A and B are shown apart, each in its own frame.
Chain A
Amino acid sequence: MNNEGVSLRAFDRTRIFRGFMLTPGAIVTLVLVLFALFLVVFLSVRVNDDSLLGAGVSLQNFVTIFTEPLYGLVVLRSLTIAGLVTLATVVAAYPVAYYLAFHAGPRRSLILFLVTLPFWTSYLLRVFAWKIVLAYNGVLNSVLMLTGLSAEPSTLFLNTPAAVVLTLAHAYAPFAILPIFVALETIPKSLMEAASDLGARPFTTFRRVILPNSMPGVLSAAVVVFVPTVGDYVTPAMIGGPTSTMIGSLVQAQFGKANDWPFGAALAVMVMLVILAVVLIVRQADRLFGSRT
């Protein structure tokens, strides 16, 4: 018996196995994530000449974004709309997560399932549903007229930024509940017992103990809602009309009709920079709450 040979072969086998296990993930992450993102950044500093990767190196695309007032306006509008959607979604979700964590009892898993279910059904259909609600000939107007609350259909519901905020807040609602619920769940019960032992009334316990301790969940919910919203172009196109163009719509137009890929890539880089800034701010805020508890 050659013990060394056997153990060496077992060692080799483990190495080969681990190599195989690393390969799919390595290919996918290196090529699809890193290399593809690198291509966007690379293209953003090129000049459009109708070839695939453009020509030359220039910061002209970014100069245009920062000097043309239109782009500043759209970036600002995207930030405002995505910010409002995030705020509305998180504020609406918090009490639901709170109920799930402290009051739902045996109904907890059913309610959890019910609030996450819409996330797995069609996004396009959820947006479309709001279109039929808000349209001139739509559900809301027909209900208002049937009940006599208004004499004629209103054009004020559809094609407004408010409609975009409402629709996106609805579409991304399930995203916000889970992280907040998980954060509330992990607060040690002893903290709340200590608060009530020290004479805190339920609302004081909520304000001084539960709310600050759940902030990490609130912040990650905010990121998860903000990211898909800020780049969205389906809802602005379907619900928002011409006054609600967001930066995602501009990117889409550059890669479609306008056929200026380098400029579209530069706009996409702007989207990523905005998200990076938000993530950094959130991480800073997270640390702030971390140090308080």
Chain B
Amino acid sequence: MSRRNIKTAGSGWLRWYVGLYLVFLYLPVALIPLFSFNDSVQAAFPLKGFTLAWYETLIGNETLIGALITSLSIGLAAAAIATLCGITIAYMDTQVRSSVARLISGIARLPILIPGVVVGISLLILVNLLGFGPSRLAIVLGHVLVCLPTTVIIMRGRFASIPRSIPEAAEDLGAGEMIVFRRVMLPLALPAIGSSFMLAFLTSFDEFIVAFFLAGTQPTLPLYIWSQLRFPKSLPTVMALGTAILVVSIIIAGCAELLRQRGLSRSMSSRA
């Protein structure tokens, strides 16, 4: 063994700590699925009995289905726009490197420093000034703003990790910048585009604070949940709905993670 092992402080207790930390992260959230099957309006121990009744109340609930469709359509639109902006901004920033592109890229990452409540009211003022006011479109714009830093950061990381020699080789072979982008850079960035789209969709699907200011007559799913939280009797139904949302979110986040890792391993192999 030529390579020395660097000694860093503590490892036994650290493992315990990480375990406890994960329990702290997941235990409160795990209560939601647990009580969604409990045959009592009260979320308390001891558990009463197993029931699927709360899930049955979800089926055929038209307000809920309406909110779900609103959230899905807003999420898809916002994720599409935010990802498109993320791709173009990151490409111009990392590949073309004009000062305008760098400025735009800097402003695009600024919303990380703006709390949701300020994003919400600033867009509320804007959409009222533009004349269409609170509506689905307004929420889409708000969510584009919330997702933009994430998509720009993900796409910048991806474009920056593509070795310069690849687009240079394409240019040497006579491809114009547009062809290089469409046939070389875009396919190489595809896993990152997929993961950025999914994460933007999840962010929009879950976002409450901004949507709260911008919702017209059609609530999103989190707004529907918020309205239900006022009624103690509907809490088990909220937990059943919450369980469904948790499961779907975990699946989408898992897929986004897989895509990201595939993109990473691909960039490793292209570097070698």
A interface, CB within 8 angstroms of B: 10, 13-14, 17-18, 21-26, 28-37, 39-40, 43, 52-53, 92, 95-96, 98-99, 102-103, 109, 111, 113-118, 120-126, 128-130, 132-133, 135, 137-139, 141-143, 146, 170, 173-174, 189, 192-193, 196, 202-203, 205-206, 210, 223-224, 227-228, 230-234, 238, 248, 251-252, 255, 261, 264-265, 268, 271-272, 275, 279
- Within 8 Å of chain A (Cβ to Cβ): is B246? yes
**Beta-carbon nearest neighbor of B123 in chain A:** A36
Docked Cα-Cα span, A206 to B101, in Å, equals 40
Instruction: Judge whether A117 and B250 touch: CB under 8 Å.
Output: yes
* Bound-state Cα–Cα, A25 to B151, Å: 12
Is the beta-carbon distance between B111 and A193 smaller than 8 angstroms? Answer: no
B170 near A: Cβ within 8 Å?
Answer: no
CB pair A138–B9 under 8 Å, yes or no, is no
User: Pick the contact of A103 from B8, B104, B208, B209 — CB < 8 Å?
Assistant: B8
A228 CA to B208 CA in the complex, in Å? 12
Is there an interface contact between A231 and B31, defined as CB atoms closer than 8 Å? Answer: no
Tell me whether A170 and B25 are in contact (CB under 8 A): yes
* Chain B residues within 8 Å of A227, by CB: 112-115
Q: Are A52 and B208 in contact (CB under 8 A)?
A: no
Question: Which residues of chain A are near B8, meaning CB under 8 Å?
Answer: 98, 102-103, 192, 202, 205-206, 210
| Inter-subunit contact A28/B209 (CB<8 Å) | no
Closest residue on chain B to residue A131 by CB atoms: B229
Query: Given that A36-B126, A111-B18 are known contacts, is A28 also in contact with B115, CB under 8 Å in the complex?
Result: no
Please name all residues of chain B whose beta carbon is closer than 8 Å to the beta carbon of A118 when the two chains form the complex: 25-26, 29
Q: How far is the CA of A261 from the CA of B148 in the complex (A)?
A: 26
Q: Which of B43-51, B56-64, B160-168 forms part of the interface with chain A?
A: B43-51
Query: Is B129 within 8 A of A33, CB to CB?
Result: no
In the complex, are the beta carbons of B125 and A39 less than 8 A apart? yes
Given A52-B129, A173-B21, A202-B7, 20 further pairs, Cβ under 8 A: A14-B178, A18-B96, A18-B177, A21-B181, A25-B108, A28-B144, A36-B123, A40-B121, A118-B26, A124-B226, A128-B242, A146-B45, A192-B6, A196-B7, A202-B9, A228-B115, A232-B115, A251-B121, A255-B121, A271-B117
**Is there an interface contact between B176 and A13, defined as CB atoms closer than 8 Å?**
yes
Q: Pick the contact of A22: B92, B121, B229, B242 (CB < 8 A).
A: B92
The residues of B that contact A232 with a CB separation of less than 8 Å are 115-117, 209
B145–A32 CB distance below 8 A: yes
A96 in contact with B18 (CB, 8 Å):
yes
**Given A29-B104, A227-B112, A92 contacting B21 (CB threshold 8 A):** yes
Confirm or deny: B234 has a beta carbon within 8 angstroms of a beta carbon on chain A.
no
In this complex, what residue of A is CB-closest to B101? A22
- Residues from chain B with Cβ under 8 Å of A129 in the complex: 28-29, 31-32
Beta-carbon contact of A13 and B253 below 8 Å: no
Partner of B181 from A17, A30, A92, A109 at Cβ < 8 Å: A17
Residues of A within 8 A of B108 (CB): 25, 28-29, 33
Closest to A224 in B: B112
B206 on the A face (CB < 8 A):
yes
Which residues on A sit within 8 Å (CB–CB) of B222? 122, 124
Contact, CB under 8 Å: A125 / B125: no
Q: In the assembly, what is the distance between CA of A34 and CA of B113, in Å? A: 13
- Render B75-113 as a binary contact track against A, CB cut-off 8 A, 1 for contact: 000000100110011011000101011001101101111
List the A residue with the shortest CB-CB distance to B91.
Answer: A21
Specify the chain B residue showing the minimal Cβ separation from A230: B115
Residues of B within 8 A of A234 (CB): 208-209
Q: Which of B116-130 contact A (CB under 8 A)?
A: 116-118, 121-126, 128-129
